[in-house]
Structure 1
């Protein structure tokens, strides 16, 4: 897959005044054609080092300018007049931010000291997390989310974090138990998060890039890295449904994309006068994203990931 032209266009964009202006306004919005999504796609491709240094510095400054550095759950935690889209972050975003910056070579704990404690703070009773703030107000069930958990789990599994504090190790072990309990393929059994149960069949369809989305290859990769880096073994029954599905769907190990997870999403937009339009607008794509995400095409990135995950599985299964 020759992506030289598309990669060059993304790197040029990231170094442009347009990207700097966009980051000054928001480190996240709009989807998908803004600096953060270009950065995250390069990272998922294994090309994090191509992100220009000034862009990284501008992104860190934009993240630190986030007005509300907690995940507001109760109305009293959100100030009057605040922007619910732009004034705070979510677990998915921060997990991915940590991974990208760490891979680039940033000491994330020093530069964004408020991010890492976020994950342990918002872990739910079953070990998962949920980017839906209302889920934390439910008391008769635990509506945690695989999608809301995966990026934070990946972030705290990074090699550069070892040795880990006791609270981080507890977070990882509980999150791993949560994923094992779901066998990597099952959605929430809760009433509050019934939408995830409906979405779970789509997790069997590989997607790239994932951004903050989930598929079973991503789950297997994260769980095997956790086991490898913490010296754990994995129960065969916990991973068998996911492994068997992938082997049956892709017997030669070549992964083809089954869905385009970034299709059909909406976004807010910044207007020429600097204000933000919170109406639903179609998210805009960009050439590199189009080139690597077409349904039915072979993904060299996922094929390499699956091959590495299979090798780890051979050493980790009980």
Structure 2
């Protein structure tokens, strides 16, 4: 199912001095072939435990060294000399980091306690989040983002209901209502985040790996997991999306619809200056992400969603 040569190439890389030096320089950048993205892909493949301990520890240490452990919103909050776009983490980054490290076995709340409190702190009034700091300064509308919300919601959802604090339970309730009100498919209706309406046209085209990107199956899985944990029937929005996916993939074989990570990104040149350049890839990413091919990983997720819907419907009635 997972191409062995490419898998072992990624594992060798993550054990290498090159990978550790990359993590020492930056926990996240550059996209899409530096250590973080290879670790994230292994997680999405269901092979989190294969990530070498040295890479995990180097990543935790790199995150712990970050000089800014809050999301600068107001003018003047960002310390001098820190890049406003790439010098601090964002919500989608920390939500995905939390999930990978937790699945590997790191006690994230003990070693990096600021991550969980960060995710809770920056929820917007409608239950969403936005990695655009200026969105928090907008008046008369709430320009939250699906991409900025989904990984944070997934991360807070990891704990069991008995472990949830009142703040976490409220965060998840608001986040679930945000997904429901968006019907899992709708972009923002705001002026500030109008571009998301164009992005939403692509969400029915499923992607693998997702990294921090959104598609309707990812939203469906998160909403069903919440329904399961709080003991509620599947929301109508979830059933509508499931019906659409069932019609598209009647045999259960889910095909990859797009590669949202393809294109240009930013990276540092030899002098440390950020520049636009083609996004890099690595062999394991190339081998499992081809648009149009059946993805066993998306197919497995869709089968799990179907099973959850059946169990929730049987428990709570139609």
Task: Give SS of 1:125's match.
Answer: coil
TM-score, normalised via structure 1 length:
0.96
1:127 positional shift: 0.3
CA distance in 1, matches of 2:12, 2:83: 31
Please give the residue correspondences for 1:78-117 in structure 2 after superposition, counting only pairs within 5 Å: 78-117=78-117
Alignment gaps of 5+ in structure 2: none
CA distance in 2, matches of 1:24, 1:10: 18
* CA displacement, residues 170-204 of structure 1 (integer Å, 9 cap, x when unaligned): 00010000000111000000011011011101000
CA distance in 2, matches of 1:173, 1:265: 36
1:163 positional shift: 1.5
Q: How many residues align?
A: 314
CA distance in 2, matches of 1:270, 1:46: 34
Please give the residue correspondences for 1:237-316 in structure 2 after superposition, counting only pairs within 5 Å: 238-269=237-268, 271=270, 275-316=271-312
CA distance in 1, matches of 2:176, 2:11: 35
Alignment gaps of 5+ in structure 1: none
Contact 1:29 1:269 in 2 (8 A): no
CA distance in 2, matches of 1:306, 1:159: 22
- Displaced runs of 4 or more, over 6 A: none
Answer with 65-74 or 155-164: which moved more. 155-164
1:161 positional shift: 7.2
Contact 2:71 2:88 in 1 (8 A): yes
CA distance in 1, matches of 2:239, 2:197: 20
Contact 1:269 1:276 in 2 (8 A): yes
CA distance in 1, matches of 2:269, 2:32: 13
Contact 1:159 1:229 in 2 (8 A): no
Q: Does 1:52 align with 2:52?
A: yes
1:270 positional shift: 5.1
1:253 positional shift: 1.1
1:75 positional shift: 1.7
Contact 1:266 1:283 in 2 (8 A): yes
